[in-house]
């Protein structure tokens, strides 16, 4: 029986963010396998699903990225409640808050009620990043440096695959080695947790910084679902209310055969043939074939 017909794992809720469709760093093939092999009552898309910053500069949309969008729309059609909370890279969607496209609800933030009675605030988190909020030009400059690190990461992991070594994230390694980056993540976590406390909820689920975590901060549960550029992680709620960070390669032992470097022909595919109907319906990006 196909994987699509029989998902191997079922959860009450799944949170994913920072997919960055439209960029070369996106691990769309791995995400597609994850979506095929998991099922949930609710699926939260916690921002930066599509990278509008990159797409506004140059068009990159291979078939795997289109397949991810179609899979998300298919889940919504088949009864999964899909809630999209836009981030800074897909801020274009914030013009459509409280609307629904293809069954996918667009919301500024959400409150999730776990089976065991906890209330979790769901937001992307860019509003608590001072650089993004008050110096967008600097954020875009940092995005360029990050893209360069991901490009280097691409070639490093190509060599590692040929040597039979597992995936390794150069950018994640650099973030943990740079003192200021580590301090930024700690400050970010505390600030987001403070917002959850201000809103009177039990915890918060966010994304934005590409660093999956699940722990308490002064009595507030802080959960970051990570990303699908570096770590390929998701936050899930089990049927009994237990929360867990799933690391795709480690926990589900994913080895998608198609997770190879795209060919040059794929990367130059026509935007008119690959532009997802979901984006067109939002009137965001009408671009002719490059």
| pLDDT 10s digits, 111-128 | 999 999 999 999 999 998
Which of 159, 158, 161, 156 is CA-nearest to residue 172?
Answer: 156
Which pTM value belongs to this model? Answer: 0.74
For the chain, what percent of residues have pLDDT higher than 70? 68
Is 163 within a domain? Answer: yes
- Structural domains of the chain, count: 1
Q: What is the mean predicted confidence (pLDDT) over 259-266? A: 38
Is 112 within the bounds of a domain?
yes
Cα 26 versus chain centre, distance: 9
For the chain, give the mean pLDDT: 79
The dihedral built from the CA positions of residue 11, 282, 20 and 276, taken in this order, carries a sign that is: positive
For Cα atoms 164, 166, 170, give the angle at the middle one, nearest 5 degrees.
120
Whether 172 is covered by a domain: the verdict is yes
Q: What are phi and psi of 78, to 5 degrees?
A: -90, 10
pLDDT attached to residue 54: 85
Note down the domain range covering 117: 9-281
Confidence tier at 203 by pLDDT (50, 70, 90): very high
The CATH number linked to 15 is: 3.60.21.10
């Amino acid at each position: 029986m196909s994987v699509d017909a029989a998902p191997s794992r079922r959860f009450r809720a799944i949170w994913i963010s920072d997919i960055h469709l439209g960029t070369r760093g996106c691990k769309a093939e791995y995400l597609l396998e994850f979506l095929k092999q998991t099922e949930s009552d609710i699926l939260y898309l916690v921002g930066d699903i599509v990278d509008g910053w990159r797409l506004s500069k140059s068009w990159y949309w291979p078939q795997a990225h289109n397949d991810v969008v179609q899979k998300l729309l298919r889940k919504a059609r088949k009864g999964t409640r899909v809630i999209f909370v836009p981030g800074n890279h897909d801020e274009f969607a914030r013009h459509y808050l409280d609307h629904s496209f293809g069954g996918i609800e667009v919301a500024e933030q959400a409150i999730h009620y776990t089976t065991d009675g906890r209330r979790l605030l769901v937001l992307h988190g860019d509003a608590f990043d001072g650089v993004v909020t008050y110096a967008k030009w600097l954020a875009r400059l940092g995005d360029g440096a990050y893209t360069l690190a991901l490009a280097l990461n691409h070639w490093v992991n190509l060599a590692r695959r040929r040597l039979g070594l597992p995936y390794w994230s150069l950018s994640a390694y650099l973030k943990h080695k740079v003192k200021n980056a580590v301090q930024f993540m700690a400050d970010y976590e505390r600030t987001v947790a403070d917002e959850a406390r201000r809103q009177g909820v039990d915890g918060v689920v966010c994304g934005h910084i590409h660093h999956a975590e699940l722990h308490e901060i002064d009595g507030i549960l802080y959960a970051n679902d990570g990303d699908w550029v570096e770590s390929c992680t998701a936050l899930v709620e089990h049927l009994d209310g237990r929360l867990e960070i799933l690391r795709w390669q480690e926990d589900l032992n994913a080895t998608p055969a198609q997770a190879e470097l795209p060919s040059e022909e794929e990367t130059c595919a026509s935007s008119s043939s690959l532009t997802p109907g979901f984006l067109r319906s939002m009137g965001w990006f009408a671009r002719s074939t490059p």
